[in-house]
Each structure stands twice: as C-alpha cells, then as structure tokens.
Amino acid sequence: MLFIFGKFKNKKWLRLSSQKRLKVFNALEKKFAKKQGRDPLPVVIHPDDNWKPFGMFTTAGGKKIYLRYDLLTDPHMRFHGMETIFHEGRHAYQYETINKKLPWYAFKAKRWRKNWQGYIPSSESSVAYNNQAVEQDAQKYAFKQMSKLDRKYRGDEAWEKTMRTNEYRLENADDMARKEFGVFYKFKINRMINKKAKEK
C-alpha cells in the first residue's frame, strides 16, 4: 500500500471503512516486518468486544497480531493502533530472535529469552510488566518509530495525546517501579521473572 502514513491523516482516515482501516494496519505490519527481516503477520480484531489491551502478539493457533476493536472504529484511537502495530511487531521480532541459536555475546537476546520464559502479565503487576526487558524494548522501539513521524502529524490532537501518553509511560516507568518495589526494583523484578521461568 503506497503512501501508507498519509492514510492516518484525519480527513483520509474518516473516509475509510473499518475493513479498509484494518487493511492499513496490515500494510503497516508488512512494511515493518520487511524492515526487521521477518515474515509479516496477519493483523486481526480480537473476538472479545470487552477485551481491554490495545493489542497482543500471539503464537496460539498460528502467529498473529490482535487489535482491540475500537482502534478501528474510533478515529481518535488510530495512532494508538499505529503504536500497537509497532509494539506487537517488535514482540514478533523478539520471538523470532530468541528461537534461533544465539551466539555467546547476544546478551540482550538472552535477556529477552529469559523474560519470555518468565513473562509477567499486566494483570499480575502493571509496574513489573512495564519494567521487564521485552516490554521496555517494545515500548522504546514503538516510541522511536512514532517520533520519526512527528513532523507529519504534529498538531493533530489524537497524535499529540498518543505521544504524551507514551512519553509519560516511558519517563515514569523507573519512578513507579521504585515506589512499588523499592530501590532494588530491577533485582526484584528479575527475581519474579526467574521464579516464573523455573515454574514452567
């Protein structure tokens, strides 16, 4: 799909049906999968209308990226949809990376592998969830990709709100973890991950 980022401009987005918006998200995933050297995944709507997360990368029943329904239907949420594609696509990249033979010096990928084995869902602890290696990496990656597009959408209310939300989450993750787990929060969160990995 040519000029994919132009489709997110408010006037153009409003003219698109839900099916066409989903096609835009699929085209975005295809574009960034190619950049990451992996196969693109189908982007589909989660079957549960009351599902709370924005999105999820899953391998259950075949690899795919789920999106929450209102990311298609609510125009104010379209940039959260964009960010979710970047974020969940990064998880797909992490998954591909950790399922290959890793050289001894692939320290980041080894941290990802351990984290995948002992993943902390947000329902267990939203603070620990935000501070684990795979989530921090996906959040930083998504924010970096979004920041590159800032000049294109600057001034759009939905864009500004999405960027502020993501910036706040990244900037305050450490402080929130310190409040909940104390000064040794990194050690405590890693201990949670290691414990969960051993239980599997």
- Give pLDDT tens digits for 150-175: 999 999 999 999 999 999 999 999 99
- Residue 2 confidence (pLDDT): 60
Tokens 């992996």: give the residue. Answer: 38
Could you give the number of structural domains in the chain?
Answer: 1
CA geometry: angle 168, 71, 1, nearest 5 deg: 105
- Residue 185 confidence (pLDDT): 94
- Stretch (H or E) spanning 169: helix 157-181
Range of the domain at 96: 4-199
Q: Which residues of the chain have pLDDT under 70?
A: 1-2
- Residue 199 confidence (pLDDT): 84
Amino acid (one-letter) located at 68: R
Instruction: Identify whether the C-beta of residue 52 lies closer than 8 Å to the C-beta of residue 46.
Output: no
- Residue 3 confidence (pLDDT): 86
CA distances from 129 to 21, 121, 126, 192 (A): 29, 6, 5, 11
At residue 187, the 3 state secondary structure works out as helix
Name the pairing type of β-strands 55-58 and 64-67: antiparallel
